[in-house]
Amino acid sequence: MEYFKKLLDLLKTEREEDQNAYLKLTESSSVADRRENGLTWYPIAIRGSEMSRGDYLTVEMERTSHQDVSHQLRFGASVVLFSNHDPKADRIEGVVSHQSGNKIKVTLKTDELPDWSRDGKLGLDVLFDNNSYDEMQNALKTAAAPFEKEEDGRIVRILTGALSPSFNNQEYRYTIPSLNTVQQAAVDKILSATDLAIVHGPPGTGKTTTLVQAIKALIKQDHHQILVVAPSNTAVDLLSEKLADEGLNVLRVGNPARVSERLTALTLDSKMAEHSSMKEMKNLKKQANEYKNLAHKYKRNFGRAEQEQRKALFTEAHKIMKEVGNTEQYIIDDLVTKAQVITATLVGSNHYTVRNRKFHTVVVDEAGQAMEPACWIPVLKAKKVIFAGDHCQLSPTIKSNAAARNGLSTTLLEKCVNLHPDAVVLLEEQYRMNELIMGYSSKVFYENKMKAHDSVANRVLMEGEAPVEFVDTAGCGFEEKTEGTSTTNPEEGVFLIRHLTGLADKVRESGVAVADFPTIAVISPYKQQVYLLKELLLNSTELQQYADKISVNTIDSFQGQERDVVYISLTRSNHDGVIGFLADVRRMNVAITRAKKKLVVIGDSATLARSPFYGDFITYAEACGGYHSAWEFSEG
C-alpha cells in the first residue's frame, strides 16, 4: 500500500538522521563527554543481582557520583555494561528493566556476571534505540499487509481515508454532572462511535477530565478492557493516576517517570509483589540461586567428577528457573486479564506482557505530539480508536528536516481531523485564561469558536492591569546575536527583567504578600536566550525574593502547564526580517495560551511584522489597548 510505503521511507530517513546524531555524540567522545550528554552512568556500583526470565541475570546498580546530571537511561532502553579496564572488550549488553532516581535495574543477556565486572570501574552506556524504530517499522509493515479477515483491516482503512467511520445512532446518554455541554457531547460521541472518535482539546478546555470520564463510561457500557496510551511517560502517568482515582483497576505497563507511591502501586512489579502466587515463586528463585552459587564454587582447577557435579547443579537451577518463568507468566496473565485499563507509552504498548493482546478500544492521548509510525503500534491492536489532543499545539519532535518536510511531522490525529470531521468534537469552553488572552489564539487556530468560562473570562492580575501587552523594541537597537546554533538578544533580555521588576513592584504595592505572589513564566523559543534570562534573573537582587514563583524555560517545556503571568521574549531582531524558528506558529500558540491573567510579549515589530501571524498579533494587542513601545519604559 503506497500510503505505508511512503511512511516507511520517511521513518528510514529519520532513523538514519537519529543514528548519525548518536554516533556523532559517542564515537570519539570520552566517558566524561558521554556522561555530560546524558548517555552514560559512570562510575556505578553493583548492589545485587538475581536470575530472571529466560535464564538472564537482572543486576541492580547505582551511580555513585554525578548524580544530578540528567540522562537518557530509561525503562526499556538498550544499554551496555562496560569496564574502564578494557572498554572495547569488557562489555555486555542488556535492557533497562527499572530506573528510579540513581538506581537502575538492567537485565543482562547472560546468566552470570563476567569476571571483569570485579576489576576496575564500571559504567553503563545507553545504546542507540533500535528497538523503538523496529517496533514502528514492524507496525507499518503489518498495517500495509493484506488482512485475512475483512473486519480486521477496517480500522486501517478508516484511518487512511478509504472508509468512513460509523456511529451507532441509538441515543447514548450517560450523563456526567461534572462535565459541561460540549464535554458531555464528546463523551456521547465516544460512546456512539463504532470505530473512531476524536476529542480536539485546545488549551485549558479540560481534555484530560473529559477523557477520564469517557473511559469510565466505556467500561460501564461494554465491560471491555481498554488500552490507554500516550507518547510520553509523563502523560501516561497523569492519566494512570486520574483513572485510578476514579476507582478503576489500572495496570501501568513500563516504568513511570514520576516516582510516587500512588503510581508505583499501579505498576506490574508492585502488583506482582502482592500476588498470592508470589511466595512460591520467591522460594523457587531462592532455591535456583543457591544451586547456582554452589555450582560457582567449582570455579578453578576441578576434575571430571566436579565438572559433572557443576553441570548437574546448573541443570537443576535452569529447571527451577523454567518453573519460575511459568509461575511468573501465570501471575502476569492473571493481572493483565483482571485490569480494566492498561496504560503504556506508544512503544510500551508492545511490551512482552501485552504484546499479543487485542483490545476492543484503544485511547491515544496527546495524539498531536505522537509520531504517526508510533501510533500504529497500539492502533493495530484495536477495533475502535479514540484520539485526544490538539494538532494546533506542538507537533512531534522530528530529528530529520527532510522527513519532517515530506510529511513525518503531520500526525495521524491531524490527518483524521481533516478526513473525518464528523468524528470530531471540539472542546470550546476553556477554564484557564482571560478572554482577551484567549482571543487571538481562538481566531487564528480555532475558527473563533473558543469561549472563556465566566469564572475566568474577566479575571486580571490587578485592577486596571491590561491582560495582553505587546512591548515593541523596534528602533531600540536591540540586535540579535548568534551563539552556536541558537540565537540570543542580550538587550531584550535585560529589558524583559526590568519590565518584570516593574510589574513585581506594582503587585507588591497593591498589598500582595510574597507568599501570595502570582506565578510567572518567562519563556523564549531560543535555548541560548533562556540561559541568558536565567542568568539575569539570578543576578537580580529585586526579584530574588520571588525566585520560587518564577520559572524560565523554552516553550516546549511549558506545554500543558499554566501560570498567572507569562512573559515571552521573541528574541529575533535583524534588518532582513528573518524570523527562523518563530515561523512555527503552533509553538507560539502554546506560548501565549499558558497565561491565565496577563500575557506580555516582547519583540521587534520591524522584524516580526513581515509574518502575518505576528503582524496580526501586534494589531490585536493594539486593539486590546496593550501596545507599547519599549521607549516608554526607558530610564531617565
CATH of the domain at 196: 3.40.50.300
Contact criterion met (CB below 8 Å) for 346 and 231: yes
**In a shared domain, residues 366 and 405:** yes
**In a shared domain, residues 239 and 324:** no
Could you tell me if residue 32 is inside a domain? no
149-159 per-position pLDDT tens digit: 777 789 999 99
Could you tell me if residue 186 is inside a domain? yes
User: Which of 294, 315, 337 is a domain's end point?
Assistant: 337
User: Which of 427, 453, 486 is a domain's end point?
Assistant: 427
Could you tell me if residue 509 is inside a domain? yes
**In a shared domain, residues 473 and 602:** yes
**In a shared domain, residues 216 and 279:** no
In this predicted structure, the answer to whether residue 169 has a pLDDT above a threshold of 80 is no
206 vs 212: CA distance, rounded Å: 10
* Position 333 confidence tier, pLDDT thresholds 50, 70, 90: very high
Which phi and psi (to 5°) does residue 426 adopt?
-90, 120
**In a shared domain, residues 419 and 469:** no
* Position 184 confidence tier, pLDDT thresholds 50, 70, 90: very high
pLDDT of residue 88: 78
284 vs 324: CA distance, rounded Å: 6
Could you tell me if residue 268 is inside a domain? no
**Segment of 45-54, 83-92, 175-184 carrying the highest mean pLDDT:** 175-184
**In a shared domain, residues 439 and 522:** yes
208-226 per-position pLDDT tens digit: 999 999 999 999 988 899 9
Annotate 142-164 with DSSP letters as a single string: HHHSPPSSGGGGHHHHHHTTSS-
Helical packing angle, 372-379 and 412-419, nearest 10°: 80
**In a shared domain, residues 116 and 202:** no
Could you tell me if residue 139 is inside a domain? no
pLDDT of residue 417: 97
- Who wins on pLDDT, 217 or 85? 217
**In a shared domain, residues 323 and 422:** no
pLDDT of residue 345: 96
- The mean pLDDT of 11-28, rounded to a whole number, is 92
**In a shared domain, residues 465 and 558:** yes
Q: What is the CATH number of the domain that holds 56?
A: 2.40.30.270
Could you tell me if residue 12 is inside a domain? no
Mean pLDDT of the chain: 92
**In a shared domain, residues 402 and 467:** no
Total number of domains in the chain: 4
Closest-CA residue to 180 (of 426, 447, 389):
426
* Position 302 confidence tier, pLDDT thresholds 50, 70, 90: low
* Position 317 confidence tier, pLDDT thresholds 50, 70, 90: confident
Residue with cell 483524521: 416
**Segment of 44-58, 245-259, 616-630 carrying the highest mean pLDDT:** 616-630
User: Which of 403, 427, 451 is a domain's end point?
Assistant: 427
Lowest-confidence segment of 87-96, 374-383, 423-432 by average pLDDT: 87-96
- The mean pLDDT of 198-217, rounded to a whole number, is 96
Domain that holds residue 501: 432-633
Q: Rounded to whole angstroms, what are the CA distances from 67 to 257, 292, 417?
A: 17, 34, 44
In this predicted structure, the answer to whether residue 42 has a pLDDT above a threshold of 50 is yes
pLDDT of residue 636: 43
User: What is the share, in percent, of the chain residues with pLDDT greater than 70?
Assistant: 98
Amino acid at site 599? L
In this predicted structure, the answer to whether residue 423 has a pLDDT above a threshold of 50 is yes
Lowest-confidence segment of 190-204, 264-278, 301-315 by average pLDDT: 301-315
In this predicted structure, the answer to whether residue 301 has a pLDDT above a threshold of 70 is no
Helical packing angle, 278-297 and 304-338, nearest 10°: 160
Could you tell me if residue 469 is inside a domain? yes
**In a shared domain, residues 352 and 416:** yes
**In a shared domain, residues 309 and 399:** no
- The mean pLDDT of 126-139, rounded to a whole number, is 95
In this predicted structure, the answer to whether residue 358 has a pLDDT above a threshold of 80 is yes
pLDDT of residue 298: 67
Could you tell me if residue 457 is inside a domain? yes
In this predicted structure, the answer to whether residue 392 has a pLDDT above a threshold of 90 is yes
